[in-house]
């Protein structure tokens, strides 16, 4: 049964057309402020949208477009078949809205002009980034062809296509072109196109069970028609998938599923189709299909090869094959029959792909395969027919066609395996999230009235979810009831379970080890940590390294060059034989000059292949990003890898990067007659409103001082503790202000309070006595930060705050030095503390008292001589520096800013992964260079051999079937070379530091 599509809701929502159904895969839509005039409607033109009923196929949409363009005054008409909508731009002085409607109805369709039409310049551009799967690409030339077609589409701003992942990312203006238009353009070019499920909440793909008959389909459609908020739907009975576009302001995805299941009285059962799981299953299906084709071709090709090579040495079989059956020998009949199946049944895909490429005005590997196999096949058929007529039997090359197709399919199968292997990281991440979740339904008083199981992909922000011991957390959220320990190693890499209590943050996909919890979902869908990681890995695997541009250029001109070389080879050997440039004894038995020349010509076409060149970079990048993800290092793609292997300087932020980021108060000294407890209460009151880590450490220290014997952290006690610690013992504060780089100031009991560094005290006119200064210096020389406190214009005390170093910091710094990388430390802390910390970790180059914006200047100072600089920060206040560096490395598990600003995200928050990131980059580019050596050297050597350059001197002839084997082996060698990166092992610090462990 053909998929059905129904339009259901024709009203506008919030002043916009209700069918504005564009989706975004990786990024939210944003307004284009830099190119506002790029696609602006000409002055005086009017734009309307028309709902069209009755279109069933592409011919219908073409007919409507033709009818509209035939109307005098219509400037542009675009018809979207799946949306049943037409977008028309016209001159209102020449044609009216009603004329547009009449033209459509005269063409045999029903039309309705939608409300809120867009006039000139009134509708802002809506730039979106969509991701599409593209099937049928075979080499870099295909990629260039698809990219060119997409970039030429009106409304498309940018298009990137990746061969290795068969994915394309398209940035487009949804007010000008829809995703369906993009898919149509891909399919019109001869490739297969489909849209990857969006992160927008207006589209859902559901698997439906319980549909067996036509009446069931009609029943399902009837339910959907009566559901409010449903815009369009399409059910594919073959796959059992239901695609629904809906208005998220009217109906949620969960209520949509509940409405369908409830409306069927339980007859239909629905589950949400995970887009990443669907893509993985497509990869598996593609590999399985390619393996079947390869084995079928191999099964038919082995007898052909056996007849040619083995049978002549077995008298009985040779006699049987030499038995004449009609005009031909039995062996010729067998080879012709077997190879015809390989050539036109199994090899049909190469003719289709070659025709697609030629139709688009490009050439690719399929053109070479189709040309080479066709030349050998049709020449062999012609030789047989010619021999039957003239009794002059020339040699045939049937085995060339069969073996070439077999070897090419082998290479394609290995490429599919490479895709499948390198998607393991995404597959593992997808499997982390459970399929279902236990939803807790509460009444208005907060009392639980029901617990029911729902699909985990239907969780909404604000849902309360119950997590039983031993199960996975279904979503990111915050604990609202219970205490437990969570194993977060699958995300953070930290093997020690983390204690969780009320108000603790939790990450979806992690495992609840002990007690039962109730969590409130905060981030779902594309906002969740795991979804962001998956998107990052997926985007990285389809990115292109700059070095690949050279390969793409070579591939684009390679095929025409090879065809020209093949023709020159044919003419050279043929003319050379005719004029007597070489002796007739060189000719094989029963051959002539043309057949002899044709053999070399076919070998040139067969052996030359740009596929290996096109696969050299993307396969290595795919494997490297997958390997990095498995090792806790998320890499943003080939561009990041290329810069990462050139790093000369690594700039470390101090707090939270080299240190643990968990500041603790070590000393509290009062220099006046004030009680120690009152002093701490005063300082904690001033810092209670501060978000700075040092401020939180001070408040925590004071709280423990006053409430050392806190009650057990059950829910009531926690609420009581929060109230008492915030409002019960702290002073009232007025006129609070945080002073970046200096401290905080406020008023308590009408008197000024200052908590901060020397600079704050000096600026405020507070005198620092010599004995206080000496005490602060002692703290700083011990790698502690001295916090000065002034009250009522008098300095009353000092707090010493220490942030312990990460245990691996010193050895990582030493390891970088051994690798030829120069470490640098930047911090906003004072010079004495900075020097003390730097001395402990072994960093020679220190930049202290640097404000966050000043870190960018430090990085640029190293970049002046062209050096590649990496910045390692916590991904929050270091985001400008992460973006300014050539290579940004964010420490921390999946923060939004880290993913946005950094090139590498070190998920385990372990400094050893800085070495891992650089080492992966270096090993990957070593492998890429090796791949290019395989690909380039192969063609440089193989093509002259195939052309017969060495035949006059050495007597070397490369038969076409052997040339086909060599061609396939070039791609196999590159793919296998890249797959060797899967054996990557993290460098051991003992090896880098040349430490011998006894």
Q: Which residues are catalytic?
A: 653
Q: Residue 144 and residue 154: Cα distance in Å, rounded?
A: 18
Dihedral sign for Cα 349, 354, 360, 364, please. positive
What DSSP string describes 150-172?
Answer: HHTSTTEEEEEEETTTTEEEEEE
- Closest to 711 (Cα-Cα) out of 726, 721, 701: 721
Which DSSP state fits 495? -
- Closest to 439 (Cα-Cα) out of 465, 476, 474: 465
Asked whether the beta carbons of 355 and 374 are under 8 A apart, the reply is no
- Closest to 514 (Cα-Cα) out of 503, 498, 492: 498
Burial 557-581 (b: 16+ CB within 10 A, else e): ebbeebbebbeebbebbbeebeeee
Q: Is 292 left (phi over 0), alpha (psi -120 to 50) or beta?
A: alpha
Tokens 């193989």 appear where? 942
Q: What are phi and psi of 937, to 5 degrees?
A: -65, -35
Asked whether the beta carbons of 204 and 244 are under 8 A apart, the reply is yes
Q: Residue 710 and residue 718: Cα distance in Å, rounded?
A: 10
What DSSP string describes 310-336?
Answer: TGGGSHHHHHHHT-EETTEEHHHHHHH
Instruction: Report the SS3 class of residue 561.
Output: helix
Which DSSP state fits 198? P
Cα angle 276, 281, 282 (rounded to 5 degrees) comes to 95
Asked whether the beta carbons of 205 and 242 are under 8 A apart, the reply is yes
**HSE-up of residue 605 (Cα within 13 Å, Cβ side):** 28
Asked whether the beta carbons of 694 and 787 are under 8 A apart, the reply is yes
Instruction: Report the SS3 class of residue 148.
Output: helix
- Closest to 93 (Cα-Cα) out of 46, 131, 129: 46
Instruction: Report the SS3 class of residue 519.
Output: strand
668 strand-pairing partners? 799
Q: Residue 605 and residue 561: Cα distance in Å, rounded?
A: 10
Long-range contacts of 951-960 (CB under 8 A, 24+ apart): 951/586, 952/582, 957/599, 958/603, 958/607, 959/397, 959/400, 959/599, 959/603, 960/372, 960/376, 960/397, 960/400, 960/404, 960/599, 960/602, 960/603, 960/606
Asked whether the beta carbons of 874 and 657 are under 8 A apart, the reply is yes
What DSSP string describes 336-398?
Answer: HHHHHHIIIIITHHHHHHHHHHHHTT---HHHHHHHHHHHHHHHHHHHHHHHHHHS------H
Asked whether the beta carbons of 197 and 203 are under 8 A apart, the reply is yes
Asked whether the beta carbons of 395 and 590 are under 8 A apart, the reply is yes
Chain centroid offset of residue 482 CA: 36
Q: Residue 752 and residue 747: Cα distance in Å, rounded?
A: 4
């Amino acid at each position: 049964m053909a998929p059905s599509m129904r339009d259901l809701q024709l009203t506008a929502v919030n002043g916009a057309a209700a069918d504005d159904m564009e989706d975004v895969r990786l990024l939210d839509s944003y307004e284009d402020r830099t190119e506002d005039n790029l696609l602006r409607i000409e002055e005086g033109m009017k734009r309307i949208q028309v709902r069209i009923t009755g279109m069933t196929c592409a011919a219908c949409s073409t007919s409507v477009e033709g009818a509209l363009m035939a109307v005098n005054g219509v400037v542009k008409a675009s018809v979207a078949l799946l949306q049943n909508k037409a977008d028309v731009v016209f001159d209102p002085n020449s044609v009216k809205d009603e004329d547009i409607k009449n033209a459509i109805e005269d063409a045999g369709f029903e039309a309705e002009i939608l409300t809120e039409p867009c006039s000139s310049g009134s509708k802002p551009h809506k730039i979106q980034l969509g991701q599409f799967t593209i099937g049928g690409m075979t080499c870099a030339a295909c990629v260039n062809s698809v990219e060119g077609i997409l970039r030429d589409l009106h409304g498309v701003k940018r298009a990137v296509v990746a061969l290795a992942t068969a994915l394309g990312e398209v940035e487009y203006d949804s007010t000008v072109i829809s995703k369906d238009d993009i898919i149509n353009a891909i399919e019109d070019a001869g490739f297969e196109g489909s849209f990857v499920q969006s992160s927008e909440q207006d589209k859902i793909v559901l698997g439906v069970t319980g549909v067996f008959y036509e009446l069931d389909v009609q029943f399902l459609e009837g339910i959907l028609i009566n559901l409010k908020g449903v815009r369009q739907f399409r059910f594919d009975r073959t796959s059992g998938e239901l695609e629904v576009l809906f208005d998220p302001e009217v109906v949620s995805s969960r209520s949509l599923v509940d409405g369908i299941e409830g409306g069927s009285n339980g007859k239909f059962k629905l589950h949400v189709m995970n887009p990443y799981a669907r893509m993985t299953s497509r990869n598996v299906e593609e590999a399985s299909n390619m393996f079947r084709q390869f084995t079928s071709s191999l099964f038919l090709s082995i007898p052909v090869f056996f007849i040619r090579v083995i049978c002549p040495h077995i008298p009985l079989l040779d006699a049987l094959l030499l038995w004449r059956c009609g005009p031909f020998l039995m062996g010729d009949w067998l080879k012709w029959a077997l190879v015809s199946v390989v050539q036109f049944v199994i090899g049909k895909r190469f003719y289709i792909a070659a025709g697609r490429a030629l139709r688009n005005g490009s050439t690719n590997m399929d053109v070479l395969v189709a040309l080479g196999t066709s030349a050998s096949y049709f020449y062999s058929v012609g030789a047989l027919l010619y021999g039957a007529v003239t009794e002059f039997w020339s040699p045939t090359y049937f085995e060339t066609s069969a073996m070439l197709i077999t070897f090419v399919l082998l290479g394609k199968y290995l490429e599919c395996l490479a895709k499948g292997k390198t998607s393991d990281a995404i597959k593992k991440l997808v499997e982390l999230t459970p399929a279902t979740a236990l939803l807790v339904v509460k009444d208005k008083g907060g009392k639980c009235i029901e617990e029911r199981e729902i699909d985990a992909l239907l969780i909404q922000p604000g849902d309360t979810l119950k997590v039983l011991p031993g199960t996975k957390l279904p979503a990111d959220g915050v604990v609202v009831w219970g205490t437990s320990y969570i194993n977060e190693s699958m995300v953070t890499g930290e093997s020690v379970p983390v204690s969780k209590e009320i108000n603790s943050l939790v990450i979806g996909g992690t495992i609840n080890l002990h007690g039962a919890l109730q969590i409130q979902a905060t981030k779902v869908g594309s906002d969740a940590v795991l979804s962001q990681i998956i998107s990052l890995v997926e985007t990285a695997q389809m990115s292109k390294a700059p070095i690949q541009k050279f390969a793409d250029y070579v591939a684009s001109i390679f095929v025409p060059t090879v065809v020209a070389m093949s023709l020159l080879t044919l003419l050279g050997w043929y003319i050379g034989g005719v004029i007597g440039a070489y002796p007739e004894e060189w000719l094989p038995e029963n051959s002539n000059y043309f057949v002899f020349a044709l053999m070399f010509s076919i070998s040139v076409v067969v052996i030359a292949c740009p596929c290996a060149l096109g696969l050299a970079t993307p396969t290595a990048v795919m494997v490297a990003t997958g390997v990095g993800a498995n090792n806790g290092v998320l890499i943003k793609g080939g561009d990041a890898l290329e810069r990462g292997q050139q790093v000369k300087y690594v700039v470390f932020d101090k707090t939270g990067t080299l240190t643990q980021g968990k500041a603790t108060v070590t000393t509290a000294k009062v220099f006046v007659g004030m009680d120690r407890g009152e002093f701490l209460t005063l300082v904690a009151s001033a810092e209670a409103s501060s978000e700075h880590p040092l401020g939180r450490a001070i408040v925590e220290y004071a709280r423990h001082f006053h409430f050392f014997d806190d009650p057990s952290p059950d829910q009531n006690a926690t609420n009581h503790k929060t109230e008492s610690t915030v409002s019960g013992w702290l002073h009232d504060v007025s006129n609070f202000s945080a002073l970046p780089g200096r401290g905080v100031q406020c008023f308590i009991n009408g008197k000024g309070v200052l908590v901060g560094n020397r600079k704050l005290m000096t600026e405020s006119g507070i005198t620092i006595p010599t004995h206080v200064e000496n005490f602060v210096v002692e703290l700083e020389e011990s790698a502690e930060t001295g916090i000065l406190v002034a009250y009522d214009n008098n300095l009353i005390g000092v707090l010493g705050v220490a942030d312990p170093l990460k245990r691996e910091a010193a050895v990582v710094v030493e390891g970088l030095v051994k690798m030829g990388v120069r470490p640098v430390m930047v911090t906003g802390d004072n010079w004495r503390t900075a020097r003390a910390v730097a001395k402990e970790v072994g960093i020679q180059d220190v930049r202290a008292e640097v404000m966050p914006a000043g870190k960018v200047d430090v990085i640029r100072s190293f970049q002046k001589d062209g050096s590649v600089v990496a910045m390692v920060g916590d991904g929050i206040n270091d985001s400008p520096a992460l973006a300014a560096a050539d290579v940004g490395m964010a420490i921390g598990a999946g923060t939004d800013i880290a993913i946005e600003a950094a090139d590498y995200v070190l998920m385990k928050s372990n400094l050893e992964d800085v070495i891992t990131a650089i080492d992966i980059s270096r090993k990957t580019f070593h492998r890429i260079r090796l791949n290019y050596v395989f690909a380039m050297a192969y063609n440089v050597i193989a093509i002259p051999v195939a052309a017969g350059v060495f035949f006059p001197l050495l007597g070397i002839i490369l038969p076409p079937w052997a040339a086909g084997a060599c061609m396939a082996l070039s791609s196999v060698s590159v793919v296998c070379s890249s797959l060797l990166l899967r054996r990557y092992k993290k460098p051991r610090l003992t090896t880098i530091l040349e430490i011998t462990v006894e």
